[in-house]
Structure 1
Amino acid sequence: MSSIPPELLFCVLENVYYTFKGTPNYKLLKICAQVCRTWSGPAQSLLFRSVKLGNIHAFHAALLSSEARGRALGNCVQTLDMSIVQYNPDSSCLSTGVKILQACPQVYKLVLGLYGVDLGEEILEKLRVAGQGLKALSLVYYGTQSPILYQLLSIWPNIQVFKIGSSMFPLLPWDIATPPPLQSNADDAGELAQRYGAEICVYDLVLSFMPTPEALTWLLASSADSLRILEVRESMSLTELNVLARHAPRLRSLRLGFYNAHSVALLRMCTAIEELVIYALDLPPRCPLAPNLPSSIEHLSLRIQNDSHRMTLQPVIDAVDALPNLKVMACNGQVRRQHYDEYAMLESRCRIRGVDMVLSDAIGRTTEWDCSSLAEHQKWGFGEEGRRTIEWKRRARDENFWRQLE
């Protein structure tokens, strides 16, 4: 085994990097790292590709333990997940977190939790330099009238994938009531300062928590031609719907936490959509289902609410009939267990239409996608229990986007 060239071994291990759930296979890689010295290096480099920090001080110490080894391991990190809790002004957690980001220059995706943190000018400058390569940012902040959203997106203009909120802390509210920053009008000193928008061109936006309409407008100011994937986990107000409406015609994937009048209004504007995921659908729905679905949909994924006393699958059967381009229909597993007869009708209708019927209780679970390997995503299909969707395939086909991320 030790005679296998490290480069070849790395390619072999990279092919088994992901589990069936699409997450890094840490268990296998740890075993491989213990086989022999030849295997240890390639396996450890993949183990450090995606790092979730429990103790940021311990990880920073590991990077400093050996200059050559620490630099090598830091260069392996491509996705970094860390939370910074600043209990008092003298806490070193924030400065240590900045040093870790500086020691990992290949990081393209950052999952960042900030609690009780205020970002001063000196820290912001260090973050700006250290995060020049960032393309994806997942941000959760718990505080009062926080400007952090505006600060980070202003210093990291290359962010294309952005998530507000985190499934890890669903009960901590976002508080970004602070209005967007002002910009003085240089042409007319007498004119009042005006709001300006973020420079980032967002490709994929996940709104686990809905920001204020002013913050949402600021966030999407430069994304009219770039936004293709949108996930909205909370109910929308009419004002928020109006902000998102200008982006709807170009969306190719829409994921909704609720199916109500406002989400239906947004959906009907999505004339080029290929994938629709609804995480909480009552049956029968309060709003009609089939008449409101754009004919361009190829993948329809529904997590049907568990209400066996009044539930009927007829709206889903009608939706299958109404979508001429449908290729995959996915829903959660208890539908078959509780409504076997109607499920058999749905399955038969899909078979007649040539539509793949997929059962998966994973629908609705938030998975942080890892795009560190373009080749890996190009090979992904629908996979076990429908965890690989058309959207994964579509993302992999968008080669220019993936080259930018790598």
Structure 2
Amino acid sequence: MSVLDCFAAPVVSHQTPDLPGLSACSLVCKSWSIHAQRRLFRRVAIVSNESEPHQNARRISLFLDAIHPATERGRCLGSCVLALTLRHADRKGLSKALLRVPNLRHLDTTTSSCDFDAPTLTAFRGKGPQITSLCIQEDFSFFPGQHSGRMHRLVAAFPSIRLLEITSNANSTLPPFEPPPKLSLVAVKFKTTLVQDIGPCLSSLTAGDGLQLLLHDSLRGTRSFTPTPDIGVNLRSLSLQTIDADALGLVHCTNLERFELGRFPDLATLRAIPPSITALSISGTPAANVPVGISFGTFLEELESGFPNLRTLTWTVDFMPPAFAREALEGVCKRRGVRLSLQVVSSERPDSEKDDSENAVELELKHRYIRI
């Protein structure tokens, strides 16, 4: 079966499986068929096209028929599904799929598909798979409260989640989970370019029973919270677009190994990052003209004296920085024994060619909790 493994790709990697190759192998002979089909169904992706609703419904219907539990073949193929991407699907289709894939580990979906009633959510808790990784997109910005509620209910239905990725294009805050779902999260990633205040949401995900959410602040229009010592204590990887370091309380994330920020950190954020990290990823250039900004020289000084465990630094920029800046950073990293990865957005490699070692912490977590 090593031939078939050449066509398949691990769920945790950036590689994509050779679906035509696996399909061809399933037609070679009877002894190859079931093994090829198992690899075909290991990672299923049905990304709906809103302009073709009938074709979308047909794709989902064919998938549900293939994994129907009434047949031995359906139960076999349903048990093979480890990763499922189902976006903008009918909620009935998604609910049926989740109840037919007992070994599912990773789910990628959108809140438009998650308008589940209470009995369905109860069925997920009792009969659904033990999902350990969830990527969910809040996809309709004109109903942010409604879609946030759907996301909150889905997360609460799967207490087994350890890796959580939330995407939101809504130009508002992400409301905190109330009550907190009490997940044992080890990795959290927020893709929220237009959402500035994600501190309360993150804290409600990573805090214990002592979390205290304060009332709505009518002056600032945001929610605030009182951090407690157990906030983020289990987190090993945290990815954010932007954050107010003072509000987040990063100091409590004492086991954090990887920190990613979608901008260049200001001094307060840089000093708030736990010294335990082994990997740091930042983007952009210093905002020297902003009062809370940081000069490149100050950044190098902090990098030189802080983060005793740092082994990898990834810096993503829109254009190649000046030679003096690159040389200075390379010098600091060389003295510290830190592997530097400089990525220019315009020439960034496609996902299929990315080096997984650049994100070794997150890759190790995926291997452990998605178990591929």
Of 159, 163, 166, the match for 1:164: 166
Question: 2:87 — aligned with what?
Answer: 83
1:281 Cα deviation (Å)? 1.0
Question: 1:233 — aligned with what?
Answer: none
Question: 2:224 — aligned with what?
Answer: 239
1:52 Cα deviation (Å)? 2.0
Instruction: Report if aligned partners of 2:203, 2:231 keep a CA contact under 8 Å in 1.
Output: no
SS at match of 1:258: coil
Instruction: Report if aligned partners of 1:202, 1:223 keep a CA contact under 8 Å in 2.
Output: no
1:290 Cα deviation (Å)? 6.0
TM-score, normalised to structure 1, is 0.64
Cα distance change on mapping 1:174 and 1:333 into 2, 3 Å: closer
Instruction: Find the aligned partners of 2:273 and 2:207 in 1 and give their Cα distance.
Output: 27
1:343 Cα deviation (Å)? 0.7
Deviations 1:77-101 (A, max 9, x none): 111122346xxxxxxx322322222
Deviations 1:254-288 (A, max 9, x none): 3332265536x633444443322221116xx4x35
Matched AA of 1:340: A
Instruction: Report if aligned partners of 1:330, 1:360 keep a CA contact under 8 Å in 2.
Output: yes
Of 273, 277, 302, the match for 1:297: 277
Of 312, 329, 349, the match for 2:332: 349
SS at match of 2:21: helix
Question: 1:254 — aligned with what?
Answer: 238
Question: 1:97 — aligned with what?
Answer: 94
Instruction: Find the aligned partners of 1:213 and 1:330 in 2 and give their Cα distance.
Output: 24
Of 251, 264, 267, the match for 1:281: 264
- Determine if the alignment matches structure 1 residue 59 to structure 2 residue 43: no
Instruction: Find the aligned partners of 2:268 and 2:199 in 1 and give their Cα distance.
Output: 27
- Determine if the alignment matches structure 1 residue 317 to structure 2 residue 300: yes
Cα distance change on mapping 1:244 and 1:44 into 2, 3 Å: farther
Question: 1:31 — aligned with what?
Answer: 21
Cα distance change on mapping 1:237 and 1:346 into 2, 3 Å: farther
Instruction: Find the aligned partners of 2:76 and 2:123 in 1 and give their Cα distance.
Output: 21
- Determine if the alignment matches structure 1 residue 112 to structure 2 residue 106: no
Instruction: Find the aligned partners of 1:152 and 1:293 in 2 and give their Cα distance.
Output: 30
Cα distance change on mapping 1:30 and 1:357 into 2, 3 Å: same
1:317 Cα deviation (Å)? 2.3
Q: CA RMSD in A?
A: 4.4
- Determine if the alignment matches structure 1 residue 326 to structure 2 residue 310: yes
Unpaired stretches in structure 1, ≥5 consecutive residues: 1-5, 86-92, 181-195, 225-235, 369-382
Question: 1:373 — aligned with what?
Answer: none
Matched AA of 1:58: R
Cα distance change on mapping 1:120 and 1:345 into 2, 3 Å: closer
Instruction: Find the aligned partners of 2:298 and 2:312 in 1 and give their Cα distance.
Output: 16
Matched AA of 2:20: K
Instruction: Find the aligned partners of 1:112 and 1:333 in 2 and give their Cα distance.
Output: 29
Instruction: Report if aligned partners of 1:289, 1:315 keep a CA contact under 8 Å in 2.
Output: no
Cα distance change on mapping 1:309 and 1:40 into 2, 3 Å: farther
Cα distance change on mapping 1:218 and 1:75 into 2, 3 Å: same
1:118 Cα deviation (Å)? 4.1
1:110 Cα deviation (Å)? 1.8
Deviations 1:329-369 (A, max 9, x none): 2212556x231122112212322332212122479x9x99x
Deviations 1:178-198 (A, max 9, x none): x84xxxxxxxxxxxxxxx543
Of 22, 27, 38, the match for 1:45: 38
Instruction: Report if aligned partners of 2:14, 2:356 keep a CA contact under 8 Å in 1.
Output: no
Instruction: Report if aligned partners of 2:111, 2:150 keep a CA contact under 8 Å in 1.
Output: no
Instruction: Report if aligned partners of 1:32, 1:40 keep a CA contact under 8 Å in 2.
Output: no
Question: 1:202 — aligned with what?
Answer: 185
Instruction: Report if aligned partners of 2:99, 2:129 keep a CA contact under 8 Å in 1.
Output: no
Matched AA of 2:157: I
Instruction: Report if aligned partners of 2:199, 2:244 keep a CA contact under 8 Å in 1.
Output: no
1:13 Cα deviation (Å)? 4.6
1:133 Cα deviation (Å)? 2.3
Aligned-pair identity in percent equals 18
Deviations 1:228-270 (A, max 9, x none): xxxxxxxx97824x3476414554333332265536x633444
SS at match of 1:201: coil
Deviations 1:169-226 (A, max 9, x none): x24767768x84xxxxxxxxxxxxxxx54354333333445798887666445589xx
Instruction: Report if aligned partners of 2:203, 2:232 keep a CA contact under 8 Å in 1.
Output: no
Cα distance change on mapping 1:266 and 1:200 into 2, 3 Å: closer
1:164 Cα deviation (Å)? 3.3
Unpaired stretches in structure 2, ≥5 consecutive residues: 49-55, 211-220
Cα distance change on mapping 1:37 and 1:157 into 2, 3 Å: same
1:327 Cα deviation (Å)? 1.6
Matched AA of 2:282: L
